[in-house]
Structure 1
Amino acid sequence: MKILQIYSFLLVLDCAGSAPPVLTRRGSAPLGSKARLLCTAAASPLPVTYQLMKSQWVVATVTRLQENLPAEFVITVTKAKEGSYHCLVTAGGNTTTSNSITLLLMRTRLTSDPNPPVLYEGSRLLLSCEGPVESGLSYTWFFNRSVVTPQTAPPLRPAGWRLTVEHVTEQHAGRYSCMTTARRTDNRSSSSSELTVVVKAFLSQPRISVSLSKEAGGYEGAVTCWTSTGSPPASFSLFLDGQEVASRNASASMTVTFPVAMVPAQDMGAARCRVKTDIQDLWSETQPLFVVPVGGHVEVEVEYLYGADSKMAAAQLHCRPGRGTFPSFSWLLNGSGLPVDLLPPPPLHAAAPRYGLVDGGRSLVLTGLAPGGGGSYRCRVRDSFDDSAPWFESPAVLVRLTAGALTPVEIVSISFCCFLLLVLGAGGVFVMLSLGERRRANIRRSSTSHSGPHLPAAVPPLTPQRSRAGVCYDAHRQTLQLIPVQ
């Protein structure tokens, strides 16, 4: 019995004088991962109790009934679990304290310059990927959740922990993120949160248009202001005769419409649009608010178009109203109305005459001509804002369609024009030569009558240069051109 007591006493003394327990943990850990802390103690009388401590708080307790069996503590890494840890080992009534370690959260943060990342086209963008304080980190960049590679569009060329775009465009707008990987510690990775980069386009010159409609209660006018380029938000304002009468903020579309009072044939002033952003302030042209009703004499002009082979390829009819701000057009062939929803002109080799409306119905194109085709065409015009307004009709025009070549009369007319141009060109050359000869004669007379020593003429004699010219006929435009030949 005494021998057993002496052995126990010596064992306690050995435990008290042995090395303290050791708590180990490697580096930092990503958010949400499992951190494993290992507490190892020297040989101690059983049972051995291990307690993991964070400051003064007990995190977990483990009891071992076997010798030389360390305690492992598993912690889910969160922001609250970050801090200093140590373990307490209790055996045989004695408690020893291990070393302290710091559990760091492996953070990766993406920052931008400018901040927030909202910038205009042509500006410089700098993104920085800030990872944990460890050596041997590698960086992976993401654009719109795809890994940035040399084939990424638009081209992005990150250099380590930085990504720089010297002159951004709207294509560079999107979501960016980065990921750090600690290759020296089991390739542990940590990703940043996404950063949305907004690239704004500069405003173009604002434009203005006016429209008018007739409702049951009278007329309703509208002024539309818009820009073809530019990024919202922007502030649109309407000015009438220099005074601001309405304003509206555009958050999605760069087109804003303002209602205005308008009456046909009455001068309602002059409108102008203004658009402003944080760096731009632009004005549109001035638009008079004066609507002229359709009226006056209406006529149809016919233009025949020929191909390179001197054969008629198409005919184009233009409707010319006497007046009217918002005209609506309608066409008739041989007294019957042509459909409003005409298809675009078909290929020129179509067998029968086909129709196509251009310029809002103002012009009618006839293609796919057949020999002997054609007919009597009229156009009608009325106010587009009033369906009950009367039609103003043009006189009938007979359009002759044929796929044949130019007629003898047309050929004679063109030949006469060419001859006339040649005569004018030859006459011009003759006049130039006559003027040059007269000038040389004057110089000779002046030098003969001079009483002093003989001096060379101040102006060298002119050498006649003959110029040639060719005449070119543009069948499509029906024009004659005088082309000089060197």
Structure 2
Amino acid sequence: MKILQIYSFLLVLDCAGSAPPVLTGPGSAPMGSKARLLCTAAASPAPVTYQLMMSRRVVATVTRHQENLTAEFVITVTKEGSYHCTVTAGKNTTTSNSIRLQVMRTRLTSDPNPPVLYEGSRLLLSCEAPVESGLSYTWYFNRSVVTPQTAPPLRPVGGRLVVERVTEQHAGRYSCVITARRTNNRTFSSRELTVVVKAFLSQPRISFSFSQAAGGYEGAVTCWTSTGSPPASFSLSLDGEEVASHNATASMTVTFPVAMEPAQDMGAARCRVKTDVQDLWSETQPLVVVPVGGHVELEVEYLYGADSKMAAAQLHCRPSRGTFPSFSWLLNGAGLPADLLPAPPLHDAAPRYGLVDGGRSLVLTGVAPGGGGSYRCRVRDSFNDSAPWFESPAVLVRLTAAALTTIEIISISFCCFLLLVLVAGGVFVMLRLGDRRRATSRRASTTHSGPRLPAALPSLTAQRTRAGVGYDAHRQTLQLIPVQ
């Protein structure tokens, strides 16, 4: 009996002094696959408990009641981590080495990387699988399966998706799913990749405003681009010297406050817009506020429909000077409301008024026999409510639904025909003169040894003639529209 106790004591001492258990297994495995890990320990008296640990969390436990030096653990790979195993025999517990198991995911890569590019550039997306054969690919754009009907058109080929010239429509979220047929159609999904497509800047534009503030006046210069993607750097220069700047991260419109006074030249302003690939300047904007003054003209234009009946009348108020005019309209000495509707319909049953072009023009529709009246317009500075009004002479506007008379139509048609004949005759004469000059030049070259006339002269004359014809024809078309 004593001999058996001594043997058991020596065996425990031998186990305690033996090498620690060894954990073996793969260093990586595809997401969702099965990984096999083996924990091998030195000989120990049964029962022996094997535990697979991930950090401090128990993943699986195996107890051996017979002498077996190895425990097998099969786990489903869901995330990366560091694994080790412990072996407990009696009251003695030993710990193995650690294995870091990396998850093999479907990788979606882009060229360029990161996927931020400008319109017209080439985009390449590659879907890389954790396995090498028996694969099929499904592509997603904004979480919808890419099909031949997808807009914008996308044509993936296997694990590659190439767009030769991207547009802003190609911006969005891309992903891919790989199906491995040799592993029971197991699928591997990539992460989403956001593609950003930037628009190139258009030439920046510039404008300025002027208003009355407490104790004086204040001005503001606005810079903007009709196209372009942020971020962009805006700056304002006065007389060639930068005076303000702003980094735009959302809107491509920036306003800079400037000190201004009426009737004073505050300098020449220019806007500059810079991105990582462009550096553009606006046109020059003189910062001069000219007060309203001088005489005011009022012009009337009658508009006729296809049936030769009057459809509307348009009144244009034109002050001789003034940078920021404010307009007011009067009918038969009474002021019209300042909040008129913009541009009423041309064919309306009741007479209506509408303002266009910032109040510079008044549109009258809904004509009726005997309609109309005496109209005037008044103008003053918009930034000064106490400024005096400058008034135009009164103009009598006659609104009638009567059609153009036959005599008027014949007169207009004859004038147009006569103008066309004169233009065609002028072109014919110029062409004949050009032919004679070329013939004279050829005869002179056979009898004289002097310098020849330049061959470009006839072509220049022809260009002028064509330009004149185009201009007259355009004028002819315009003359058919307004009738006084």
Same fold (TM over 0.5): yes
Residue pairs, 1:67-466, within 5 angstroms = 73-77=73-77, 78-80=79-81, 105-406=103-404, 410=408, 414=412, 417=415
Deviations 1:371-400, CA, capped at 9 Å, x for gaps: 110011111111122222222111111101
Q: Is the 8 A contact 1:49 1:61 kept in 2?
A: no
Amino acid corresponding to residue 230 of structure 1 in structure 2: G
Q: Is the 8 A contact 1:308 1:475 kept in 2?
A: no
- Gap change, CA 1:426 and 1:215, over 3 Å in 2: closer
Q: Output the CA distance in 2 between the equivalents of 1:38 and 1:412.
A: 103
Deviations 1:270-309, CA, capped at 9 Å, x for gaps: 0011111111111110000111101111121011122333
Q: Is the 8 A contact 1:310 1:475 kept in 2?
A: no
Deviations 1:159-200, CA, capped at 9 Å, x for gaps: 111111111111111111222222221222222222111111
SS in 1 for 2:156: coil
- Gap change, CA 1:349 and 1:237, over 3 Å in 2: closer
- Gap change, CA 1:135 and 1:424, over 3 Å in 2: closer
Deviations 1:302-358, CA, capped at 9 Å, x for gaps: 111223333222111110112101111111111222223322444444233222211
SS in 1 for 2:295: coil
- Gap change, CA 1:129 and 1:422, over 3 Å in 2: closer
CA shift for structure 1 position 140 = 1.9
Residue pairs, 1:2-13, within 5 angstroms = none
Deviations 1:121-169, CA, capped at 9 Å, x for gaps: 1111111112213422222222222222222211111111111111111
Deviations 1:218-276, CA, capped at 9 Å, x for gaps: 11011111110011111111111111111111111111111111111111110011111
SS in 1 for 2:358: helix
Q: Is the 8 A contact 2:300 2:397 kept in 1?
A: yes
Q: Output the CA distance in 2 between the equivalents of 1:115 and 1:418.
A: 65
Percentage of pairs with the same residue:
79
Q: How many residues align?
A: 403
Q: Is the 8 A contact 1:51 1:59 kept in 2?
A: no
Q: Is the 8 A contact 1:307 1:476 kept in 2?
A: no
Amino acid corresponding to residue 350 of structure 1 in structure 2: D
Partner of 1:477: 481
Q: Is the 8 A contact 1:47 1:63 kept in 2?
A: no
Amino acid corresponding to residue 339 of structure 1 in structure 2: P
SS in 2 for 1:398: strand
Partner of 2:4: none
Q: Output the CA distance in 2 between the equivalents of 1:129 and 1:82.
A: 29
Q: Output the CA distance in 2 between the equivalents of 1:75 and 1:249.
A: 53
SS in 2 for 1:168: coil
Q: Output the CA distance in 2 between the equivalents of 1:337 and 1:135.
A: 84
Q: Which has the higher helix share?
A: 2
CA RMSD of superposed structures (Å): 4.1
Q: Is the 8 A contact 2:325 2:381 kept in 1?
A: yes
Q: Is the 8 A contact 1:202 1:230 kept in 2?
A: yes
- Gap change, CA 1:422 and 1:171, over 3 Å in 2: closer
Q: Output the CA distance in 2 between the equivalents of 1:133 and 1:171.
A: 33
Q: Is the 8 A contact 1:208 1:224 kept in 2?
A: yes
- Gap change, CA 1:247 and 1:262, over 3 Å in 2: same
Amino acid corresponding to residue 63 of structure 2 in structure 1: T
Partner of 2:15: none
Q: Output the CA distance in 1 between the equivalents of 2:247 and 2:477.
A: 56
Q: Is the 8 A contact 2:26 2:37 kept in 1?
A: no
Rg (Cα) greater in structure = 1
Amino acid corresponding to residue 62 of structure 1 in structure 2: V
Q: Structure 2: where are the runs of 5+ without partners?
A: 1-22, 39-44, 90-98, 441-472
